[in-house]
Structure 1
Amino acid sequence: MNRRRFLGAVGLAGLAASAGCYEHVRHWNERSDVVGPQPPLSGGDSANDADVSLSSNGLHRGAAKDGIPAITDPVFATDWSSVGQTLGEEELVVGIDIGGDARAYPLAILNWHEAVNDVFEPRSTDGRTPADAAFGRPLLVTYCPLCGSSVVTDRTVAGAVRTFGVSGLLWQSGLVLYDVESESLWSQLSATAIRGPLTGTALTRLPSTIATWGEWRREHPTTVVLLPPPASDTVKGWQSRDYGRNPYVGYDRSERVGVGDSRSVDERLHPKTMVVGVTSGGAACAYPLASVERRGVVNDTVGTLPVVVAATRAGSLVAYDRRVGGRALDFERDGDELVAGGSRWPLVSGRAVDGPHEGTRLTRVTGHSPLYWFAWANLYPKTEIYGNIFG
């Protein structure tokens, strides 16, 4: 394994201070505010199929608890006109589609708040909640700017709905959440509790995608989009940020990993290379954006799982199970669509729009959105790399 060390704190003080997200970073050239050590998790590497032995060792304090205020009462609309703002067509969003109910969560908001506690209420075709809908599905939508990762989960734990906030701690340079009810700490990357009474408990992950607002809205014309606070309320009540400004400008191109952290990083790829990762049967493979873009479409097998991987025009990645009706198809690409078996599947939605498979939805095979290489390699150090000569 080719690994090197990166210092995460150097040069990020200005970024953190402007974001108001990692208020202690300016001190981390002098000290490391480490929480621990703690014993490894029960269950070891079985938690959510991670290829590492999860441990809360190495927790770093990045901000005060709730210094990054999670959204607890989200409000949605068809666009941002009701709050006197414009969400540009090229702005990235985390998109979720459950039973035809599509919602978009802009990174312009998630960069500042990182977690949204939501409830998906079933809707009829006219957008209203059906009278026979007893209750919706409680979801947690998260985004870690330091890892470039979005993870969506059910926030029901042991039969009870939990409310999640941002702990201000980092683990493996990634977001650490807490649940209000038990005060357990949860790794966003592994979707697993790493400290507290729920240690070792894994959240149920749900499919999502990262796309531009324009891409998402074209393929989901009835979608709604999250409104920024103060329209949406937070765990700290009224809050507002400059949602037209990215507090992490330049971070995605630098070699810096996180903040306040120094660790060995797999150097087979630049740490900020965007990849989509797939695991199956003990095997793991990372698909770098540049390699996928060169191929146009990738038909591959990870373990025993046949997959198709492609990049959107906006530079995001999607990975689907390429089995349809029990048979693995070989896909080609035509513009923004995958083509196989006489049908066409738009990249972002994965639902066939014509042909013998019309209406069939391809199954997403990723528990994470595309994310930075260093974050994937931390979780799966034995991962292969598609198209890499060292893989």
Structure 2
Amino acid sequence: MNRRRFLATLGFTSALAGCLGNDPPVADDANAGGADSAAGGTETPRAGPFDLPIPEDELRRGAPKDAIPAITAPVYSDDWSGFDEVSVELDDSFEVVGVELDGIVRAYPLAILNWHEIVNDTFDGRPVVVTYCPLCGSAVVADRLVQGEPTYFGVSGFLWMSDLVMYDDRTNSLWSQVLATAIRGELTGDTLSLLPATISTWGEWKASHPDTDVLVPPPVSGTIRGRQTRRYEVNPYTSYQQSSSIGIGFNDDVDERMHPKTSVIGVTAGGVARAYPFDPVSNAGVVNDRVADLPVVVSATTDGTLVAYVRRVDGTVLEFERDGDVLVGGGSRWDIVTGRALDGPHEGTALTRANDRSPMFWFAWADFNPGTEIYGA
């Protein structure tokens, strides 16, 4: 390996400069306090290949606590029209994090998440947190329960391995977004239960989910700092996403097998981690593969939605082909975005997702999954 290194539930350019440029030392902070001893028991907790708690000097302060204001009072509608406070038109090309849970379907535009990173939500009484790290290009959705009780999560302002570090309001423990694990504080080693999510375009998501609602940007939605607003028509990370630069700090050992900002979807099973880059998957149309003993099918839409599903249905492993905008397997046609059979003997059946986390930048997948394989390499 070549490595160098209208439904209601329940501010920011200067801070961005801190995320991408300045690298001040970590100050004493309530978020980082009390994290030097593992919570519960004498055995050192681990998250994947990482010993916990992670050393304090591996944290980088990208912004003050809550300077990126997490959304705590989300509001939804079928689009953004009709809101005087919203001057941005919701375009079909906007990328969204799509979540379908307990019969409720919602979309969270990256135009909002680039500026707020965390949405504390509720699905029919079920507390859920939707997160996005612009530096890693990673979306992670999970139940927002800490010690069995609902909590809200905020943006600590710290980064670890260039990834968003969250805090919970019950214990102020620090949580890695990609790992969905507490890495410092009272809850060190605790993990969140992950929920399936898709990164798609608004156009593709609503076509596959005509009953979806979409998050309305602040100030309609409320944040941890009250009424806030940002320039939601501007992506402050455009130049970063197009460059080979990587976050801030602790990326000296970068896996150079691909450009660091290559979009990959990762699957882990049986001690094997494999990354599927967008271009090879798109060129193939459909990939039937196995990760250890897990049979998977990986595909991508013309708009760039990258998905991975388990291709075992009712105990039978299916072989898929591509037919235009759908997959064909087991006598049924399957929607790529939802993984749901549209007709035939499996009509209505939904494939199980093979990936725990959304597609993300290659450097982030490789950092959190050292020794990962690459499909097609």
TM over 0.5: yes
Task: Give the corresponding residue for 1:363.
Answer: 352
Change (3 A) 1:359 1:38: same
Query: For the Cα contact (< 8 Å) 1:96–1:209, is it kept in 2?
Result: yes
Once residues 217 and 198 of structure 1 are traced to their aligned partners in structure 2, the CA distance between those partners, rounded to angstroms, is 38
Q: Which amino acid aligns with 1:176?
A: V
Task: Give the corresponding residue for 2:103.
Answer: 100
Equivalences for 1:366-385 in 2 at 5 Å? Answer: 366-385=355-374
**Deviation of 1:55 (Å):** 4.4
Task: Give the corresponding residue for 1:69.
Answer: 69
**Deviation of 1:336 (Å):** 2.1
Task: Give the corresponding residue for 2:2.
Answer: 2
**Deviation of 1:249 (Å):** 1.1
Equivalences for 1:150-229 in 2 at 5 Å? Answer: 150-229=139-218
**Deviation of 1:247 (Å):** 0.4
**Deviation of 1:39 (Å):** 6.6
Change (3 A) 1:119 1:186: same
Once residues 45 and 300 of structure 2 are traced to their aligned partners in structure 1, the CA distance between those partners, rounded to angstroms, is 33
Once residues 261 and 53 of structure 2 are traced to their aligned partners in structure 1, the CA distance between those partners, rounded to angstroms, is 24
Equivalences for 1:1-391 in 2 at 5 Å? Answer: 1-5=1-5, 18=13, 20-23=15-18, 26-28=21-23, 33=26, 38=36, 44-45=45-46, 47=47, 50-57=48-55, 58-83=58-83, 84=86, 85-121=88-124, 136-388=125-377
Once residues 18 and 231 of structure 1 are traced to their aligned partners in structure 2, the CA distance between those partners, rounded to angstroms, is 20
Query: For the Cα contact (< 8 Å) 2:265–2:308, is it kept in 1?
Result: yes
**Deviation of 1:271 (Å):** 0.9
Q: Which amino acid aligns with 1:170?
A: L
Once residues 24 and 256 of structure 1 are traced to their aligned partners in structure 2, the CA distance between those partners, rounded to angstroms, is 12
Task: Give the corresponding residue for 2:8.
Answer: none
Change (3 A) 1:39 1:60: farther
Aligned length: 358
Once residues 368 and 280 of structure 1 are traced to their aligned partners in structure 2, the CA distance between those partners, rounded to angstroms, is 13
Once residues 19 and 265 of structure 2 are traced to their aligned partners in structure 1, the CA distance between those partners, rounded to angstroms, is 31
Residue deviations 1:261-299 (CA, integer Å, cap 9, x gap): 442111111111110000011111000111111211000
Once residues 289 and 243 of structure 1 are traced to their aligned partners in structure 2, the CA distance between those partners, rounded to angstroms, is 27
Change (3 A) 1:157 1:32: closer
Residue deviations 1:112-166 (CA, integer Å, cap 9, x gap): 0000000001xxxxxxxxxxxxxx1100000000000000000012220011000
SS at match of 1:153: strand
Once residues 375 and 40 of structure 1 are traced to their aligned partners in structure 2, the CA distance between those partners, rounded to angstroms, is 25
Q: Where has structure 1 moved over 6 Å in runs of 4 or more?
A: 34-37
SS at match of 2:364: helix
**Deviation of 1:338 (Å):** 1.1
Once residues 311 and 227 of structure 1 are traced to their aligned partners in structure 2, the CA distance between those partners, rounded to angstroms, is 27
Query: For the Cα contact (< 8 Å) 1:109–1:243, is it kept in 2?
Result: yes
Query: For the Cα contact (< 8 Å) 1:52–1:381, is it kept in 2?
Result: no
Change (3 A) 1:361 1:166: same
Once residues 205 and 89 of structure 2 are traced to their aligned partners in structure 1, the CA distance between those partners, rounded to angstroms, is 16
Change (3 A) 1:339 1:43: farther
Once residues 214 and 286 of structure 1 are traced to their aligned partners in structure 2, the CA distance between those partners, rounded to angstroms, is 26
**Deviation of 1:354 (Å):** 0.4
Query: For the Cα contact (< 8 Å) 2:52–2:184, is it kept in 1?
Result: no
Q: Normalising by structure 2, what TM-score?
A: 0.90
Change (3 A) 1:262 1:309: closer
**Deviation of 1:379 (Å):** 1.0
**Deviation of 1:259 (Å):** 2.4
Once residues 54 and 375 of structure 1 are traced to their aligned partners in structure 2, the CA distance between those partners, rounded to angstroms, is 19
Q: Normalising by structure 1, what TM-score?
A: 0.87
Query: For the Cα contact (< 8 Å) 1:69–1:235, is it kept in 2?
Result: yes
Once residues 230 and 113 of structure 1 are traced to their aligned partners in structure 2, the CA distance between those partners, rounded to angstroms, is 12
Once residues 68 and 319 of structure 2 are traced to their aligned partners in structure 1, the CA distance between those partners, rounded to angstroms, is 44
**Deviation of 1:311 (Å):** 1.1
% of aligned pairs identical?
A: 56
**Deviation of 1:335 (Å):** 2.0
Change (3 A) 1:26 1:352: closer
Query: For the Cα contact (< 8 Å) 1:146–1:257, is it kept in 2?
Result: yes
